[in-house]
Structure 1
């Protein structure tokens, strides 16, 4: 079973069926270096493998989520080398996390940090949060989803302003645009995310990642294809013990006891 631990730049806190994974480089506003990205990748993969974990909260703490990548990670990169780089692969593997991800965002959430947050399924923000993609101001573009992920939540106009303008926006503007799902007072974002995660974790442990897979199928399929895929996954779940338990519990007016089978 995945346990609480502190391994330098990444901390893990176990809370029942919810695991909190925290970036821990506050002295540089949680800037992303290779150790952070590899730590996130490995911790998320471990949580995915652990059947007792149902929801993952990803945070940088109550200070800053992440001010983006260490500039040293980009300095000296070649066009061919970046596409094959370890850091590019880490971002891709983070996006592949199978279990529901809840981002708890405070302070600066910029560049690669913003790309990680917006790749999560639910984003809960502190009223101190500032989201942005400043890469254009360095003569480059976002390279880990920042030209696409804003659009999926907020539309083409918001995406264009973010990727072409480079300015950050505050939590309430982000909420109105649909980029974040909830805004809470400073100092309470992690607790709010954990409480929300605990509510999600009460649902079927097979159904949670299945629902995520089907929702994300739209990233690679047409609407018709994703609807057919939804039917296929739903049909498979109906044969599970969890589905029988959920239906029986509803009929008997009692809470379900899911076992993940």
Structure 2
């Protein structure tokens, strides 16, 4: 490229790699070595940001053949690494980091965050990427014939069953109270795609399964949020978990799945969604509820978003929560870790219906029946357009891509997840 900053960026990126090659592994570096490397990384990142601020659309258009090809986030980053190796980490760099604990990684995902902030922040490129992420996954398309025939799909972490025109998605990671990791995100996007693509399904239902965990044995649990043990081990990725979760299956819960079988007047197939919260919805569990059309809670359940206490950003929770609760309660929940119990008056800002635990099944059936009418989908589409404009979501996710990447490598986060892992 002929732009003046590009040669300087290439030189700065090479300097970082030269230092990394010469230094010990991250966990064995002396303070002076860490300081020198951090300075080199920051110099490269400053140039990287400057270059992308000016050329994100041009880079994206080159990688997608003028936006004629749809590349999901992981594919886009892979293509960028091949074409512009100074912009994002290579496959080899990522593979080396993947084998390490979070505390021992080089932090290459920060550079992915810089790239994705620029792409999502560019109106044309960002809009195209959001639209690409609404396409069904290859895994879902492979499983679709089986699901259409049998009405059942079992994945490692989610069970999908079609009954009487409704798709029941049951999160069944009973070993970790449905704490989410990369595998669960992949499974969730797969089953959400299947539920949306099946013409026999009119309504989707999400519920936690029955646990074998000693403390909650025999009880249903909705979600314990992000799997902190996996984060400590280095198994929670920016792209495969934190961004794919928001731009993949949760985005599809709101906007639907892009399909050639969509009606001529819409680009996606949308359906209404019901969530049933039993025991608790912590962190990502509460984030999920903000995308649902009807939320049902057992009277002994509670909701929380302890992301600030954990040191991370709660997905699109900051974007959506205040719309439901108002700014004061949103700050109490996100910044101060307030729990909201289902029986509190403020819970009605987040939950549509509270019933006794033994009445959840009957209440779910009533909710599914109410949301099965033909006018529900067009009205939810108009509500979502008014409440969550796509362009506002794109701008939020642009900044989230970088801020969450930075938080993944914050010393406070690494310390907290390390102490958590020691307890379990």
- Per the normalisation by structure 1, the TM-score is 0.74
Structure 1: any 5+ residue segments left out of the alignment?
A: 223-261
**Compared with structure 1, are the counterparts of its residues 187 and 149 closer, same or farther at alpha carbon in structure 2 (3 Å cutoff)?**
farther
**Compared with structure 1, are the counterparts of its residues 188 and 92 closer, same or farther at alpha carbon in structure 2 (3 Å cutoff)?**
farther
Q: Could you tell which deviates more after superposition, 209-218 or 154-163?
A: 209-218
Alignment partner, residue 10 of structure 1: 158
Alignment partner, residue 108 of structure 1: 280
| Residue 201 of structure 2 corresponds to residue 49 of structure 1 | no
| Residue 379 of structure 2 corresponds to residue 208 of structure 1 | no
- Of 315, 325, 334, 1:154 maps to 325
- Of 336, 341, 350, 1:165 maps to 336
* Aligned-residue offset at 1:30: 1.2
> Structure 1, residues 97-127: CA drift from partner, whole Å, max 9, x if none?
2211101011120111111122111110011
**Compared with structure 1, are the counterparts of its residues 34 and 191 closer, same or farther at alpha carbon in structure 2 (3 Å cutoff)?**
farther
- Of 113, 125, 141, 2:297 maps to 125
Q: Is the 8 A contact 2:340 2:347 kept in 1?
A: no
* Aligned-residue offset at 1:175: 5.5
Number of aligned positions between the proteins: 215
Partner of 2:292, secondary structure, is: coil
* Aligned-residue offset at 1:72: 4.3
User: For the residues of structure 2 that align with 1:190 and 1:48, how far apart are their CA atoms?
Assistant: 22
Q: Compare the two structures and name the one with the higher strand fraction.
A: 1
User: For the residues of structure 1 that align with 2:200 and 2:352, how far apart are their CA atoms?
Assistant: 26
Q: Could you tell which deviates more after superposition, 163-172 or 93-102?
A: 93-102
* Aligned-residue offset at 1:174: 6.1
User: For the residues of structure 2 that align with 1:110 and 1:174, how far apart are their CA atoms?
Assistant: 19
| Residue 225 of structure 2 corresponds to residue 95 of structure 1 | no
Q: Is the 8 A contact 2:283 2:314 kept in 1?
A: yes
Alignment partner, residue 259 of structure 1: none
Alignment partner, residue 68 of structure 1: 225
User: For the residues of structure 2 that align with 1:191 and 1:5, how far apart are their CA atoms?
Assistant: 24
**Compared with structure 1, are the counterparts of its residues 22 and 129 closer, same or farther at alpha carbon in structure 2 (3 Å cutoff)?**
same
CA RMSD of aligned residues (A): 2.3
* Aligned-residue offset at 1:167: 2.5
Q: Is the 8 A contact 1:68 1:112 kept in 2?
A: yes
**Compared with structure 1, are the counterparts of its residues 160 and 45 closer, same or farther at alpha carbon in structure 2 (3 Å cutoff)?**
same
Of structures 1 and 2, the larger Rg is shown by 2
Partner of 2:324, secondary structure, is: helix
* Aligned-residue offset at 1:221: 7.0
User: For the residues of structure 1 that align with 2:346 and 2:153, how far apart are their CA atoms?
Assistant: 33
Alignment partner, residue 314 of structure 2: 142
User: For the residues of structure 2 that align with 1:142 and 1:63, how far apart are their CA atoms?
Assistant: 23
User: For the residues of structure 2 that align with 1:174 and 1:73, how far apart are their CA atoms?
Assistant: 35
Alignment partner, residue 28 of structure 1: 176
> Structure 1, residues 41-93: CA drift from partner, whole Å, max 9, x if none?
11111111111111001111352100101014544599xx72x4444212322
Structure 2: any 5+ residue segments left out of the alignment?
A: 1-147, 210-218, 254-269, 392-424
- Per the normalisation by structure 2, the TM-score is 0.47
